Structure 1
Amino acid sequence: MTDEKRCLTLRVVVPDPSQRGANVEVRALVDGRDILADAFTEGPGEDPQYLLVPGGPLTAASVSHEVRLAEASCTEGCCGALYVTIQRDGDYVLWDEWRNPDEDEVDLPAFRFEAQEYQREVERATTDRSWEWPARTVARLLEQRLRERPDWLARWECELGAVSAWSWEPDQVNVFLFHPGRSAIREDHPWLQFRMIVAVSSDDPVDQAERLAEQLVATDPRQAAEVCGGSPEFARQLGYPWPQRRRA
């Protein structure tokens, strides 16, 4: 491993709204060079919702841990992903042991960052929300609010899956719920996933998230959502209609 000290920059890239299906991604630049462009072109970098959170996976500790930086557009199981092991070593942070499950080796060296500079960059990228559009901000705040109070959804036999906002649908938020919960999947019991589409306005995102959280749990959210996952047989057993396939 080289003793050369490197400089890390974390850049959030938001796709053009015309790119339907494209994801917001975090690109890691080392000394200004995009390492994903060098070593992994099968798919985008991970979403900042996963990488850029307080105390998140990019935070370095004395105990090493592996972090996924990118995944193939199809799936990791199909065309791979890019992993790195991160560890705090005294005054430095090490990125090493690169791994792609779809390849024998990854052509990237070990990187060594000054720990304080590294942490400042991770914290800067985590707190910088200037790239968010209003619906994305509402989605983030709404998900935080709902996860703080899981009992709100539990009374309706629902578990929160995710709250998403996509750049090609800039005026709405998608709320995904599991019924009766993820445990049913693990235990091989009937389960369904529901999707609720919520319109976003120009109102203050904090106020909107608070208001939407209250509205979502005031009545059974399944009544305003559509089934989007599970199976026709599970839908029959749980008493819900299975959506008809839309004709092209």
Structure 2
Amino acid sequence: MSVDGVDVVEAIHPDSDSSLLHEMMIGPPETWPLRADAEPRRVELSNNFCETGCCGGVFVTIQRCGGLVVWTWENTDDDSRVPLPPDSRFDADRYDAELDRFVADHDWEEPVDAAARLLARELVALDWHRRWNCLPPPWSLGVSVGGRGEEAHVTMEFVVTGLRSYTLSVTGNEPVEDQVRRFVERIDASDPRG
């Protein structure tokens, strides 16, 4: 996480585990953890390879204040050797544009990453979770990359009476769009609650 050219998470929390996954940014913009609104949003940026409730982590509270986006830093672990940076302030229009640019950049994607992104988009368009009353897990849209290479697959988790999932194996033998379309047609035609 770079602010003004400095990797602030590495500086504050060296050798930590990033808590932000690209799959958290594949849903609609209002679900993106780094999206700034008038209502403050607390976001975990890194942890100690453990639950933050146990071992702590680095958090930022993001809030839109007029023409600015303000990040307020917080470190909840016991290591206070490195002081927290002061609040970070960004021009709101430039912040939104940079976030949009980041989310729109698909050059790095492998087919399985593209499948996750396309599946999330289709689920939103179908209003699948609400229509079937199967809520996504609270931490994301429930779509995640579960493997790469020959084991490449995308997992779609949802909550009925407990956590359930569907899995889409992704191959390099045909266009990803076709694989996702068939998968969506299959899950859309059957009741996941049964």
Q: State if a TM-score over 0.5 links the two structures.
A: yes
Is it true that 1:128 corresponds to 2:117 in the alignment?
no
Determine what percentage of the aligned residue pairs are the same residue: 31
Q: What is the CA-CA distance between 1:74 and the residue it aligns to? A: 2.5
Residue 208 of structure 1 corresponds to 179
Change (3 A) 1:91 1:170: farther
1:192-248: CA deviation from partner (whole Å, max 9, x where unpaired) = 64563524334222222111112345557799xxxxxxxxxxxxxxxxxxxxxxxxx
Structure 2: 5+ residue stretches without partners = none
Measured at CA, do residues 196 and 57 of structure 1 come closer, stay the same or move farther in structure 2, by a change above 3 Å?
closer
Among candidates 124, 128, 132, match of residue 149 of structure 1: 128
Paired residues of 1:136 and 1:173 also in contact (CA < 8 A):
no
- Quote the residue 1:196 is aligned against: 167
Q: Distance in 2 between matches of 1:58 and 1:114?
A: 14
Bigger Rg, which one: 1
Q: Tell me what 2:74 maps to.
A: 99
Separation in 2, partners of 1:178, 1:62: 29
Give the counterpart letter for 1:60 in structure 2: A
> Residues 163-214 of structure 1, C-alpha deviation per residue, up to 9 Å, x if partnerless?
32246446522324457x1xx3xxxxxx464563524334222222111112
Indicate if the aligned counterparts of 2:33 and 2:43 stay in contact, CA closer than 8 A: yes
- 1-side partners of 2:94 and 2:180: how far apart? 34
Q: Which digits, 9 at most, give the CA deviation of each residue in 1:22-77, with x for residues without a partner?
A: xxxxxx21121111111123212411222565232322233333222223322223
How many equivalent pairs are there? 183
User: How far does the alpha carbon of each residue in 1:134-164 deviate from its partner, in whole angstroms, 9 at most, with x for none?
Assistant: 111112222332352237766xxx6655332
**Does residue 18 of structure 2 align to residue 44 of structure 1?**
yes
Gaps of 5+ in 1: 1-27, 185-190, 224-248
Find runs of 4+ consecutive structure 1 residues off by over 6 angstroms: 220-223
Output the amino acid matched with 1:31: D
Alignment-derived partner of residue 64 in structure 1: 40
SS of 1:165's partner is strand
**Alignment pair present for 1:173 and 2:150:** no
CA distance in 1, matches of 2:93, 2:40: 17
Q: What SS is found at the alignment partner of 2:38? A: coil
Tell me, yes or no, if the aligned pair for 2:170 and 2:179 is still in contact at 8 Å: no
**Matched residue, 2:57:** 81
In structure 2, what is the Cα distance between the partners aligned to 1:59 and 1:44? 18
Quick one: which amino acid aligns to residue 206 of structure 1? Answer: E
Cα deviation, residue 130, structure 1: 1.5
Tell me, in whole angstroms, the C-alpha distance in 2 between the residues paired with 1:100 and 1:170: 39
